[in-house]
Structure 1
Amino acid sequence: MSRSLSIVVVEDEPLTRATLVAFLEREGHAVRPASCVAACRAALRDKAADVVLLDIGLPGEDGLSYARELRSAGATGVIIVSERGEIETRIAALDDGADDYLTKPVHLEELAARVRSVARRRAPQGARLSFGPVVLDQAARSAVAAGVPAALTRGEFDLLWALAVAEGKIVSREALSEVVSRGEGDLRSVDALVSRLRRKLASADEDGLIVTAPGFGYRLRPPVTRA
Structure 2
Amino acid sequence: MSNTVLVVDDEAVIRARLKGYFEREGYRVLEAGDGEQMWKQLTKQHVDLVMLDINLPGTDGLSLARQLRSHSDVGIILVTGRDETIDKIVGLEMGADDYVTKPFELRELLVRVKNLLWRISLVKKSQQAVNQAEKSDDLIAFDQYLLELNSRKLRRGDKVIKLTKAEFELLTAFALHPQQVLSREYLMEQTSHRNEEVNDRTIDVIIRRLRNKLQTDLFVTVHGEGYLFATKVDD
Shorter-chain TM band: 0.5 to 0.7
> What is the aligned partner in structure 1 of residue 11 from structure 2?
13
| Counterpart pick for 2:64 among 47, 63, 66 | 66
Matches within 5 A, 1:2-41: 4-41=2-39
Over residues 119-176 of structure 1, what are the superposed CA-to-partner deviations in whole Å (9 max), with x where a residue is unaligned? 1122254749xxxxxxxxx97xxxxxxxxxxxxxxxxxxxxxxxxxxxxxxxxxxxxx
Pairwise CA RMSD:
2.4
How many residues of Structure 1 are paired with residues of Structure 2 in the alignment?
A: 133
Distance in structure 2 (CA, Å) of the matches to 1:41 and 1:120:
24
Distance in structure 1 (CA, Å) of the matches to 2:197 and 2:78:
19
In the superposition, relative to structure 1, how do residues 94 and 125 fare at CA in structure 2: closer, same or farther (>3 Å)?
closer
> What is the aligned partner in structure 1 of residue 93 from structure 2?
95
> What is the aligned partner in structure 2 of residue 51 from structure 1?
49
> What is the aligned partner in structure 2 of residue 104 from structure 1?
102
> What is the aligned partner in structure 2 of residue 163 from structure 1?
none
Distance in structure 2 (CA, Å) of the matches to 1:183 and 1:17:
26
Distance in structure 1 (CA, Å) of the matches to 2:9 and 2:123:
31
**Structure 1 segments unaligned to the other structure (5+ residues):** 129-137, 140-178, 185-227
Distance in structure 2 (CA, Å) of the matches to 1:183 and 1:38:
31
| 3-state DSSP of counterpart to 1:31 | strand
| Counterpart pick for 1:80 among 78, 81, 87 | 78
Bigger RCO (CA 8 Å, 6+ sep) = 1
Q: Give 1:57 shift.
A: 0.7
User: Which structure's residues are more often helix, by fraction?
Assistant: 2
Matches within 5 A, 1:118-133: 118-123=116-121, 125=123, 127=125
Distance in structure 1 (CA, Å) of the matches to 2:87 and 2:125:
34
**Structure 2 segments unaligned to the other structure (5+ residues):** 130-194, 199-235
Over residues 73-104 of structure 1, what are the superposed CA-to-partner deviations in whole Å (9 max), with x where a residue is unaligned? 13210000110110001110011111001001
Which one-letter code corresponds to 1:106 in the other structure?
Answer: F
Distance in structure 1 (CA, Å) of the matches to 2:10 and 2:124:
38
Which one-letter code corresponds to 1:77 in the other structure?
Answer: G
In the superposition, relative to structure 1, how do residues 125 and 61 fare at CA in structure 2: closer, same or farther (>3 Å)?
closer
Distance in structure 1 (CA, Å) of the matches to 2:66 and 2:123:
23
Q: What is the TM-score when the length of structure 1 is the normalising length?
A: 0.54
Distance in structure 1 (CA, Å) of the matches to 2:35 and 2:106:
23
| 3-state DSSP of counterpart to 2:121 | coil
Distance in structure 1 (CA, Å) of the matches to 2:197 and 2:88:
16
| 3-state DSSP of counterpart to 1:23 | helix
Distance in structure 2 (CA, Å) of the matches to 1:90 and 1:82:
9
In the superposition, relative to structure 1, how do residues 126 and 64 fare at CA in structure 2: closer, same or farther (>3 Å)?
closer
Q: What is the TM-score when the length of structure 2 is the normalising length?
A: 0.52
